[in-house]
Amino acid sequence: MNASPGFVIKVFGLSAAIAFAIKNLAPKLEIPATAGVSLLMVLLPVVGMAGVLAWQLKTSR
């Protein structure tokens, strides 16, 4: 793998920003602890990734 330093710095910066948001901003959100919310939190990344992969498959053909 030959990753450029700029790409590595961008990924590190984005990761740090997400970690900061989870640690400091997420506790301020008032999300109810229900089964529907937990199901949405589990399935949303899977559905999002499936959508991205389907879009890539469609554009590569």
| Model pLDDT for residues 19-48, shown as the tens digit of each residue | 999 899 888 989 899 999 999 999 999 999
- Is 61 a residue whose pLDDT tops 90? no
Rounded to whole angstroms, how far apart are CA atoms 22 and 45?
Answer: 16
- Is 10 a residue whose pLDDT tops 90? yes
Which pLDDT band, with edges at 50, 70 and 90, does 1 fall under?
low
Q: 56 and 37 in one domain?
A: yes
Rounded to whole angstroms, how far apart are CA atoms 9 and 5?
Answer: 6
Containing structural domain, residue 58: 32-61
Q: What does the chain come to in residues?
A: 61
Q: 25 and 39 in one domain?
A: no
**Mean local confidence (pLDDT), 2-26:** 90
Contact in structure between 1 and 7 (CB atoms under 8 Å) = no
Q: 61 and 41 in one domain?
A: yes
Rounded to whole angstroms, how far apart are CA atoms 41 and 48?
Answer: 11
Q: Locate tokens 């399935």: which residue?
A: 43
User: Pick the residue with more confidence: 58 or 3?
Assistant: 58
Q: 25 and 37 in one domain?
A: no
